[in-house]
Chain A
Amino acid sequence: MSGKEITLIIDGREVNASEGEMLHDAAKRGDVEIPVFCYEPKLGEPVGACRMCLVEIEGIPKLQTSCSTPVRDGMVVHTRTDQVKHAQSAVVEFLLINHPLDCPVCDKGGECPLQDISMGWGPGKSRMTDDKRHFEKPIELSPLVAIDRERCILCYRCVRFSQEVAEDEQLQLLERGDRTFVGTFDDRPYVAPFHGNITDLCPVGALTSYTYRFRARPWDIEQAGSVCTLCPSQCNVSFTVRDEQVKRVVARDNPDVDDGWLCDRGRYGFEMFGAEERIRAPRLRGGAEATWDEAIAKAAEALRAASVDHTGVGTNLAAASGNGGAAIVGDASNEEGYLIQRIMREAVGSPNIDSRPSRGPSREALVRLAQPEITARVRDIDDADAILVVGTDPLHASPILDLRIRKAIRRNGAKLAVATEGPTTLDGGATAATRYAPGNAGPFLAELAAALEADGPISQGDLDVSARRPQEVAGALRGAGSIVVVWGDRIGREGDGAVTALLDVTAALDLAGKNGSGLLEVPELTNARGLREAGCLPDAGPGLTRAPFGSHTSPNGASNGKATEEIRVALESGELKTILLFGVDPLRDFPDTQAWRNALAKADHVVCFSMFENATTAMADVVFPLETHAEKDGTVTHPDGRLQRVRPSASRPGDIRPNWGVLAELSLALGHDTGVDSQPSAFAALAEAVPFYAGITDADIGGRGIRWQDVGPEKATGTGSPDTQPEAPTPPAEN
C-alpha cells in the first residue's frame, strides 16, 4: 500500500500504517493478532462474512470488522475489551454449533485455524444441545479434492477464488441461509487448472486433497521450501516432508513470483517423484546396471571420442578439433548448465551447445533483449495500465501469469491486448484479441510497430481485415501509462527479424521510458534464461559474452557452435559423433521427431541425463538419473531475471547422486578439473563467470530470490569496478 503514512493507537500502542490499509493488517504489523477466517488479502476485497475480526473503535458504537475497515489517522482501537472478547467468543460458539468436531479423523487437525482460534478466542464450551446440520461426506468435488460440507464454515474463500481469481466460475454457493453449501453445477466435477488452491485456502478440513488425506499429522512432518521447476513460472513451493519423502506441496507466498498460488501440476505432480518408472541408478545401453565409476568412464569415453582429432592422430585434448560432440541442455539448474558448457568447451573442445528446442535469436539480439531498462518484473503486471500478450498462451506456458493478468484486469482495470497464433483463454477479458498466421509473429509485430508509430489511429474503415488487427491492438495500448509486454520465446524461433520487430514495438511504446513497463519473456523451458546466462548457447559464453572457444577456433574459423537444429542435421550426416542430452527428450519435446530418431540412431555415442525412461533414453549408450526439484541443489533464473534457490527437500531415491557432482566428476574423467566440489563452489564459479551475477551470494538469493538487475553497485565486487553498475550485458557493437 503506497498511501500517506498515518499513525493509530491499537491497545494503547502506537502503530504506523499507510492510508487505505485495512485495520487488521496494520494491527498485525503492530504485533496485535486479530483472528480471522474469511479475510484473505490474496482474494482481493474483504467480504466481512465470518465476523471473527470484530474490534472496538472509539467513536463508533457498534463493533467493526477490522478486516474491512481502512485505517484513519488518530484512530483509537481496542481488541481486548470485554465487549470484543464477548463478540469473539459468541462468533466461535456460533461457528461450532453445526461443526462436526471430528478433529481426530480430520486432516486439518494440528494446522487448523478453526482449532487455533477456538482455543485462543473461543468460549471453551458450547451450550448447543440440539442436533447439528448434516451432509453426506466426504464427496468427490474433483478427482483430486474431497469436500466435507459439514466442516465448512461458509467463509466464501473457495468460491471467491473460483469466481474472482481463477475465474473458472465452476465452484459456487448453492441454496440460502444455513442450508447453503459449496458445490458445482449439477454435481459436475470441479476441473480447472488451479482448483487445488482451494485446499490451501480452506481454513478448516472441508477441502482436502486426496493425495494427502490420512498421510501425515503435523507433528510427523517438516516443511522445506524450494522452487517448482515444472514450468517457467518457477513458483515458490513448500514441500511437506515425512520420512524424507514429499507428501504434499503447498504454496509459499512470493508476491514477486506467484502471488501465493500454485497450478495443479505444481501442487499434485509431486507423485512422480516416487514413481517406480524413475531412473534410480546409472545404466548402460540395453538396461544393464552400472556402477557410477563405470558409467562415468563410459560417458567420458564417449565424449573423448568426440574430441579425437579428425585426422585420427593422438588424443591430446587441447589440440583436438573437438567438433565431433554436442550437448543440449533442458531441465537443468544454472550450475548444471554452466558445468556442461565448460565440459563441452574446455574438456571436449566443442562449441556445440544449446538450450533451445530448435533454434533462436542470435547473441546480439539476446543482449538487446536483456537490457534491464526494457525488462519488466512479474509484479509490474499488477499495476500495468495495458498488457500485451503476444505469441504465447500464458495458461499453458506459464499458468501463474494467467492469474496475474486476470488480477490486473479485474482489480486495476488494465486493458489487455492478445495477439497469438490460436485462441487463448484470456481472449474473453481482452480489449483486443487477434490472431496472426503461424510463424508470422515478426511481420505482425512490424505492422504493430508501424501502427503505433503513426500518431493517430488510421480510420478502421479503409483497412482490410488483416491490416485492421494491428490497429486494434495499437488502439488498446496507445496512451497507456505503464505497459507490460508478455511475449512467447517461440517468436525467437523465427529469427532475429522477429526480435527486431519486437524491439521496434518496445521502442514505439517507449517501454524503457515508462516505469513499471517492459518485456516479460515466457520461454518454453523452465530455466531458459538461467541456461542462456550460464552460457548454454552455441554463440554465447557465460554472461552472454562472445563465445569463448577455449584456445581453438573450429576449422571454419567461426567460434560459434551449432544450434539444436544444426546439431540434429550434423548427427544425421555423421559430422557429429557424440551427443549429451541433459534433461531433454528430443523425441517428445522437439520438432521433427523422425529426423531426431534418425540422428540418434546414426550417432556413435548418446549420453543422457533423465528422470524417466523414454524413447530417447532407449537409444542412449549411458543414462544417468536426473534429480527432481525436490532433490536438486542449485539455482534457477526466472524469466524476469530473478535468481531463485532450488533446495534439496527430500532424499534422492535409489542411488541417485547430485547432478552437479556427476558433471564435475565427468569433467575430471576428461582430464579437466573444474575445481567444483560443492553446490556453493559451483555457484561461485558461475557468479565469477557471469559479470552481472558477480557478488550475488546465497544469502542474497535467500527464500525470495533476487533479480540481478536489482543488485546495487555495492554488491558488484566481481569484475566490474565497485562504483559502476554490474557490467550489464553490453550491446554487441561495443565488444
Chain B
Amino acid sequence: MPETRMLLKNAEDPALRTLAGYKGYGGYATLEKAYRELEADEVLQELEDSGLRGRGGAGFSMGKKASFLPRGGSVDKYLCCNADESEPGAFKDRELMQRNPHQLIEGIAIAALAAGIGHAFVFIRGEYDSQADVLDAAVAEAYEAGYLGTDILGTRRNLELVVHRGAGAYICGEETALLDALEGKRGNPRLKPPFPAVQGLYGGPTLINNVETLSNVPHIVAHGAEWFKGFGTEQSPGTKVVSVSGCVQRPGNYEVELGIPTRELIYGLAGGPAEGREVKAFYPGGSSSPVLTAEEGLDLPYSFEAMAEAGSMLGSGSVIVADDSVSIPHMALRTARFYHHESCGKCTPCREGTNWTVKMLERVVRGEATPMDLDIVASVQENIIGHCLCVLGDSMAMPVGAMVRKFRPEFERVIAEAGHAEAVAA
C-alpha cells in the first residue's frame, strides 16, 4: 500500500513554504470560504463529525475538545498549537512546519474561527530554530495578506498569532506544562481539573492541539467530514504522518491511511532492517509506548484501536524499530535516561522513580545486579504508574516495564555475561 499524501501533498516543492506557492496549490481558499461564508458552529460541527483524533499523543477527538470551550461570551479564549515535538522518535511536526507552514497557519485560523478564539500561539521547541524561522516568515506573509490580524478579510474577525520558541524541555509538550512555559514560568504541569478548555492560558479557556491535528483542519473544512472519513478506519479516520526510525533502511516520514498493516509500514515503505537482520521489537507510538515484539505487533493494523488492544498505543505515531542487533536492556536504560533527564521534578514518584530506575539499569548493564534487582525495577515501574501528577512518569514506566517483562531472559543474560566479564576483568 503506497503512501496517501494529503498533508504532505506537494511537499517536495520548495515554493510550497511561500504564500504564493501555497496559494498556487489552492491554499487559503478554505480560510476565505470559512471566514466569509461559514458560521463558527458550522465549522466546529464539521470538525466534530470528521472524527479527527488528536495527533499529539492522546488521540482525543479534536472537534469534541473544541466544543468544550464556552461558546461566545466576552472572556478571552486562546489556541495553542503544540509544536514542542520532543518525544523520541517523533519528527513529523518538524517536516510539516518546514515544508508547509501555511497549511498549519490556515488550520490554526480556521480552528480559531470555530472556537471563537482571538489569540493563538505556536509553541515550537527551541531546537527547531530553522523551522521556527520558516514559520516566522510564513506568519509575516499571512499578516501581510490579511489572513491574520484585525478585521480579517473585512469580516470583523480578529486573530493574533505569535510564534513562541521553547528552550529545551520535553515536559513542555504536556499541554498544561506548555501553558506554564507560555506564561513565562518553569514548565511544570498543572493539576487537572480544571482542564485547559475551561481554564487554561492566563486562566482563560484554551484549545491545545498538535501541529498535525491542526494541519488536517483546512482539508476537512474544504472537502467535508464524510470525505475525511473515507480515509483510515472507522475509529481512526484520516491519514497519519508516521515517523519511522531506528533499524530501518529508509527512515523518515510516511503519510499513510490509519489501519495500514504495520509490516507494510516498516518493511514496505521504510525498507525494513539492514540485510540479514530481523525486527526484534518496536515502539509503535514513540518512546512512551510499551514496546511490541515482532510477533505481537508486525501483523496488526497501525491504528489507535489496534495498538491499544495489543497493550500499547499509537501515541504521536512514531515507530522506532529495534532489530536483533539491539540489546533491549541497553535500550531500556537509554529510554529511562531520557525520562530521568526530562522529568520536571515536581512530583515524587516521577522525580525519584526515574533516577532510581536509571541507577538500577546502569548496574544491570554493568553486571553488578542480581535477578532480584529486575523484580525491584519492575516493582518500581508499578509504583510510578498512575501515581504521578502528569503521565511523563507513566511514559517511562510502561515501556521499561514492558521491556523487562517481555525480554526478561535477555536481561538475565546481560547480568550473567557482564557479571562474568566483570569477574574475569577484576
Contacts and interface: CB of A to CB of B under 8 A. Distances in A.
Interface string B321-361: 00000000000000000001111111111011111100110
Nearest to A45: B191
B389 interface: yes
B345 to A, nearest CB: 4
B386 interface: yes
B359 A178 contact: no
A153 B355 contact: no
B134 interface: no
Interface string B170-191: 0000000000000000100001
Q: Name which of B169, B345, B379 has the most chain A CB atoms within 10 A of its CB.
A: B345
A48 B349 CA distance: 12
Contact of B348 (A63, A86, A153): A153
Interface in A36-50: 46-50
Contacts, number: 91
A286 to B, nearest CB: 64
Contacts of B344: 176-177
B169 A98 contact: no
Contacts of B347: 48-51
B348 A87 contact: no
B389 A63 contact: no
A97 B384 CA distance: 14
Nearest to B341: A177
A95 B348 CA distance: 7
Given A97-B356, A177-B340, A178-B343, A47 B191 contact: yes
B314 to A, nearest CB: 21
Interface in A432-449: none
B222 interface: no
A727 B379 CA distance: 71
Contacts of B384: 90
B53 to A, nearest CB: 21
Contacts of A128: 356
Contact of B359 (A68, A93, A130): A130
B383 A156 contact: no
A230 interface: no
A177 to B, nearest CB: 4
B56 to A, nearest CB: 21
A173 interface: yes
A131 B348 CA distance: 18
A4 interface: no
Given A93-B383, A177-B340, A178-B340, A133 B346 contact: no
A52 B349 CA distance: 10
A212 interface: no
Contact of B363 (A47, A54, A62, A130): A130
B191 A68 contact: yes
A154 interface: yes
A179 B341 CA distance: 9
B388 interface: yes
A54 B303 CA distance: 34
B87 to A, nearest CB: 17
A156 B343 contact: no
Contacts of B389: 48-49, 51
A94 B387 CA distance: 12
B345 A178 contact: yes
5 contacts: A50-B348, A51-B349, A52-B348, A87-B383, A94-B356
Interface of A: 46-52, 54, 62-63, 65, 68, 86-87, 90-91, 93-95, 97-98, 127-128, 130-131, 133, 153-154, 156, 173, 175-180
Given A90-B387, A94-B352, 17 more contacts: A51-B349, A54-B387, A87-B383, A90-B349, A93-B383, A98-B352, A127-B379, A128-B356, A130-B359, A154-B345, A154-B348, A173-B345, A176-B186, A177-B344, A177-B351, A178-B351, A178-B354
What are the 4 tightest A-B residue pairs by CB atom distance, in nearest-first order? A90-B383, A94-B352, A130-B359, A180-B345
